[in-house]
Each structure stands twice: as structure tokens, then as C-alpha cells.
Amino acid sequence: MAKATKKQALGRGLSALLKDPDNDIKSASDKNADKVVGNIVELDIEDIEINPFQPRTNFNEETLRELASSIRELGVIQPITVRKLAFNKYQLVSGERRYRASKLIGNSTIPAYIRIANDQESLEMALVENIQRQDLDPIEIALSYQRLIDEIQLTQEQMSDRVGKKRSTISNYLRLLKLDPIIQTGMRDGFISMGHGRAMINIDNQIDQLEVYEKIITSKLSVRATEALVKNLNNPKTVVKSETIEIPKPIKKGIKEFSEYFGHKIDVKVAKNGSGKISIPFHSEEDFNRIIKLIKSAK
């Protein structure tokens, strides 16, 4: 307990140092900068503004309230990171959830690490530090990687060094941005996993992507089942023409009646010797049981 009190007192002392207008610290070479930069400083929340470069856009209200409750009981365990803009003016680099949760319970101060950086460095720090977080969804991570490419002009090799991830991992995230926006939203909302998304990347046509996405949701397909579905879509089985003939008109008429009766499009194949096969599709266990009842009732 004594150790924590000493740490908080130190933060308040450094905060007072920052409020001395005659010795305003503007760069890392200024007097007393070494006492502030890299140390934990207790800053007034009202002196901190949101970072416009923040890659995170979704904040779950329930988990934010849970974090606020934890901060009320234990305090902010992991300090936020800010950059100094001007005298008594700071901007968030990382830690927006802790910042928001602290404001939610009415805290007037928050422990922070102070960095002195320009806008580009601030953006890079925000993106790289946020990528390391465990609670970002795959699309948020992919968008952060894309911003590092577009706005910082980093190559995938450079990103690999900065964030400590394999280039192949970075590439897999970036490819998710090729998915239809509806599918990206589904991934952000937790309806499908990154594994589902990676399987659908291999579908070039976005209409086909959406059809597969709908099947994943309605049939609750696993990633493995989705991969099989995509494989069949991209490599449909070809019918050997030598084994089948054109379906005779009487049978075609029967197919229509079959389809109307079962409520599905019935597939019929007829061989040269006159034999054939009827396929009745079903979309769920409930649908399968419905078809069985129809067959039994026809006896």
C-alpha cells in the first residue's frame, strides 16, 4: 500500500512540474523533460483530448461499464499514453477505453505516460499499440494495417518488424478488406469468425460471397464446412455427358410436380439405359423432417 501511495504522490509531483508556465516542456531536450517523458504522470482528464487517429471505432457499452467498475475499485492499473500538444494540453495515443471509463465514473485525473511526437509519429504509435490489443476485432486490425500502409507508407516487411507479426499474418488480415462490407460488419459484430472470412476471400464474386455468408448464418456452418462449401462453389462437379441423356418431356412434367409438392427444386438425372436418380434438397433438420412427413402422407 505504501508503495502505491508513493507512486501516486510522484505522479502528482510531476503533474505540478508540468503546470509551471515558466518551464514549459516542449521537446525531449528541454529542462526537466527527462523527469516527465517515460514516467507516470497524474494528468487532469479535462486537459486530454481524444486522438483523431484512433483506429478503434466501436466501444462496447457493457464492457466499458465493467471497466469503469473495476477502475472505481482498483484504480487505473495500466496508465494511458498521451502526447503533449501545448501547455497543459495533451492528446490520447492509446488507452481510450480507460480514459472513457474514468470519465464515466467522474474521475478528475488519470495516470499517463507522456510522449513528445509529431502527428505522423502519433498516428503510428496509436496504430501499432492498438494492434497489440487482444480485444480488437479482425476488421479493426486489418484497417489499422491498411492505414499504416496508406498514411505512414510502411511496407508489409516494415510492419512485421514494428508489430512483431509474421508478414503472412499481416497479409491474411489485409485480405479481409476484400470481403463485401456486409460480411465485414458481420465479422465485427461477431456473427462469423476470421476463419469464416478467410474462407470466403477465395470467392471473387461478391454476390456469391453474400450467398455463402447467408448460408453460414442460417445453417450455423463451421469454418471447415464453409471451406468445403467454397471449394465446391469454385470447383463444381462436372456431369459426364456420356452417362446422361436429355430428360424426356413426361419426366420434366413430373419434376415440376415433385418440386411443387416438396417446396424445393428437385434434381433428376436420367441415364442412357432409362434409369435415373431423384435428389431432394433440404436446408435444415427441421426441413428434412418436413419432407419425411410429406413422403409418409403420400402413402
Please report the pLDDT score of residue 224 as a whole number: 93
pLDDT tens digits, 212-269: 999 999 999 999 999 999 998 888 764 444 455 677 777 777 777 777 777 777 778 7
The percent of residues in the chain predicted with pLDDT above 70, rounded, is 84
Q: What CA–CA distance (Å, rounded) separates 279 from 274?
A: 17
Higher pLDDT, 137 or 152: 137
Q: Is 51 left (phi over 0), alpha (psi -120 to 50) or beta?
A: beta
**pLDDT tens by residue, 165-175:** 899 999 999 99
How far is 294 from 289, CA to CA, in rounded Å? 9
- CA-nearest of 78, 124, 126, 83 to 101 is 78
Annotation marks residue 140 as catalytic: no
Q: Give the architecture (CATH level 2) of 2-117.
A: Alpha-Beta Complex (3.90)
Closest CA to 178 of 201, 194, 196: 201
Q: Is the pLDDT of residue 3 over 70?
A: no
Chain segment 18-50, per-residue pLDDT in tens: 777 777 776 666 777 777 766 788 899 999 998
pTM: 0.47
Q: Is the pLDDT of residue 7 over 60?
A: no
Angle at 258 (CA atoms; ends 255, 263), nearest 5 degrees:
120
3-state class (DSSP) for residue 92:
strand
The active-site residue out of 46, 49, 66, 96 is 96
Q: Which residues on adjacent β-strands are paired with residue 84?
A: 90
Parse the chain into domains and list their residue ranges.
2-117, 182-237, 241-297
Give the Cα separation of 212 and 196 in Å (integer): 10
Q: Rounded to whole angstroms, how far apart are CA atoms 144 and 122?
A: 13
Mean pLDDT across the stretch 278-286?
A: 77
